[in-house]
Amino acid sequence: MDVFNAIVQTLDSTIRLSVPLLLACLAGLYSERAGIFDIGLEGKMLVGAFAGAAAASVFHSAFLGLGMAILISVAFAMVHGFASITHRGNQIVSGVAINFVAAGSTIILGQAWFQQGGRTPALQPGERFEAITLPGADAIHDVPIIGPIYAELLSGHSILVYLAFLMVPFTWWVLFRTRFGLRLRAVGENPAAVDTAGISVAWLRYRALICTGVLTGIAGAYLSMVQNGGFVKDMTAGKGYIALAALIFAKWKPVNAMFACLLFGFLDAAAIRLQGSPLPIIGKVPVQFMQALPYILTVILLAGFIGKAIPPRAGGVPYVKER
């Protein structure tokens, strides 16, 4: 039974750890499917995390915090759009710039406003998103097998966790079942076809980036308002890049993205779980190795285990009308 509990607990933290990856990955999916590479997912998550925690702490409202996280993150996405859509700048450079601005500005503003070394004040109850207990979770908690799975694994998460997983079928539906999705996929493959069909390439790409901004905003809010009780500098810690790796691993498909993010989340959870405890045969593994494992696996997976990943054909190329 101990083993079973350990497994349930590991899977539970897998879910918690994969949520920010999943939101960022879906965010990247919208922009890359529309032909805009977005290496700035990391920065947008970071400003989202900061804005969310700061606003929640000042206005004492979790939902106001979430709203501010989304707003600021979308604003950064629009900067990326202005540079790379309107002015046809290099998308990688623009994305990297956003990451730098995000890393620097959150610390400076945090210090200026809260004087806590770049942190935001610890969030109080009501300023954070609390865990939701699903109906009947307490009642069946003691039922063997099903009880812990329902009560621990499925119940007891914040609303943002459920939202993140609901975004998977929703994103799939938007991409493959709506007019907006058809046009979004088309503009990432052949913007000239979209242009000659009488649709504005720029406006379509801006809308895709708004979707990206909204999702990275939620991802950031999750980090500072659910996983952590406040903003800490550089708290995204490369999750934006892991999300990009997951996106390639998932071949730009929403359901695949969910599984890719769960896998990366699981590695993270396993690394935490196995820290310090000896493994059979191998013996004790250094903590640093366990922490590096998800990143090592990312490199290995991307280097060859996923087969050919074909990115959207117009990805990274600014659209210039030419005849």
Question: By the criterion CB under 8 A, which residues form the site for other proteins?
Answer: 176-183, 185-186, 189-190, 192-199, 313, 321, 323
Between 82 and 180, CB nearer to other proteins: 180
Smallest separation (angstroms) from other proteins to the CB of 282: 41
Smallest separation (angstroms) from other proteins to the CB of 16: 35
For residue 320, the SS3 value is coil
Which helix (H) or strand (E) element contains residue 246? helix 239-249
Between 186 and 267, CB nearer to other proteins: 186
CA 50, 55, 58, 63 dihedral sign is negative
Smallest separation (angstroms) from other proteins to the CB of 181: 8
Between 63 and 173, CB nearer to other proteins: 173
**Facing residues of 157 across strands?**
132
Smallest separation (angstroms) from other proteins to the CB of 180: 7
Residue 23: exposed, middle, or buried by beta-carbon count in 10 A (0-12, 13-18, 19+)?
buried
Tokens of 53: 């925690």
CA 116/CA 300 separation, integer angstroms: 40
Name the phi and psi angles at 287, rounded to 5: -55, -45
Smallest separation (angstroms) from other proteins to the CB of 316: 17
Name the phi and psi angles at 131, rounded to 5: -70, 145
Smallest separation (angstroms) from other proteins to the CB of 254: 16
Smallest separation (angstroms) from other proteins to the CB of 36: 17
Which helix (H) or strand (E) element contains residue 111? helix 91-114
Tokens of 277: 């405890």
Between 58 and 174, CB nearer to other proteins: 174
**Facing residues of 279 across strands?**
283
Between 161 and 204, CB nearer to other proteins: 204
Between 197 and 282, CB nearer to other proteins: 197
Cα 23 to Cα 38, 59, 97, 183, 307, distances in angstroms = 14, 25, 21, 22, 24
Between 97 and 194, CB nearer to other proteins: 194
Contacts of 158 (CB under 8 A, 6+ apart): 129, 130, 131, 132, 222, 226
